[in-house]
Amino acid sequence: MDQTSFWSTHLKPGERIVWQADASPRLRRAAVSRRRWIAIVVMLLAAVLALAFAYKLYESLLPGAQTGLGLAISTPLYVALALTFAVVAFAQLGRLNPKLSPAVRFAATPARLIAADAGGALLDELNAQDISGLILGGRSKAPDLYVLRRQDDLNVRAFSIEHIDRPLEAKIFLEEQFLEPADEQAD
């Protein structure tokens, strides 16, 4: 399926595609791999710390190790720290299979931005008048593009264009397409 026929079901009458990009499978695999390695490192560090504090707890409870105030302070502290790091280590199991955004195709018309999954289902759209800005974020070598929505509520999520090969070029084009020049905004 070519790009034109892919987007044709989502276009309004008279609308045309002026820009489009697909998420790079290579960048998506790299993102999954990076997230998985971070989870493994955090899990291993947390597990080592949990075991270290559990061992310190065991040592503090041995006969003749300490008594009185030292035991009263160290025992709950070691229990709390060992359990905390054990929970952190266990929580990383869920991050070993990271889920990326299902949006893998992105396009712009003169009136809006649209995102779709690989099957062609429309996942998100943003009208041109609702765009307040574009920023690059994430990794320095392969940043993602985030289109900010013009909202009063700061908790509204951005329109994300992730894992594309040339995000800087996309940002420049979309700024020219959707944002007014600074001279016109001042008037």
**Span 11-36, pLDDT tens digits:** 888 888 899 999 999 999 998 999 99
Residues 122 and 152 in one domain: yes
pTM value surpassing 0.85: no
Q: Residue 102: CB partners within 8 Å, gap ≥ 6?
A: 117, 118, 123
Residues 112 and 157 in one domain: yes
The CATH number of the domain where 10 resides is what? 2.30.29.30
How many domains is the chain built from?
A: 2
**Span 50-89, pLDDT tens digits:** 999 999 888 877 766 666 676 777 788 889 999 999 999 9
